[in-house]
Amino acid sequence: MRIVIAGGHGQIALRLERLLHARGDEIAGIIRRPEQAGALLAAGAEPVVCDLESAAVEDIVKHLETADAAVFAAGAGPGSGIARKDSVDRAAASLFADAAEAAGVRRFLVVSSMGADTEPPEGTDPVFAAYLRAKGAADADVRARAGLDWTILRPGRLTDDAGTGRVTLGESTGRGEVSRDDVAAVLAALLDEPGTAGRTLELIGGDTPVAEAVRAAAGG
């Protein structure tokens, strides 16, 4: 497959790129800054410089026209303020979805966040609350699109621990941690499982092998 990943320099995206390259897929990663290109090349991905905060739909469509699937893994990241949570985590996700629909790319994965569907509890850090609201709004936008075979993945608290290859995946998992390695492994498996289209799935560490967990989520 040819897969285009928005936020191609992110920690999960780089892991996913390495996995997809190792299995023989062709990957393009959308990045904001040219100096990020080396990390993508090392991961086996083609770097595509395109700032999703300022690009027009047609700028992104040309990178998606030959793709079989698209993955939105971009985020404003730590240290960014409330405004960029909206411009990246919400608006860029919607723009990328617009481009996927225009390019005829139906398979569309989103890396979201656990807790994105509920109003943040009172006392939540304002920037984190803005992040959750932005993710929730982006997810709602994607879920309303009949032109996409979308799957939304909502990991728990991310860690840099080595992946175990075993997870808990479902509509509601409860709170927990999950390694970025295992998130990337689940994303790779979801790309191969069209039966998970139309599903919003939570993900934490667990005891079920990734392939088995994804098959179960698809009803297999």
Q: Would you name the residues annotated as active-site residues?
A: 131
What separation in angstroms does the CA of 86 have from each of 15, 26, 124, 184? 25, 30, 17, 24
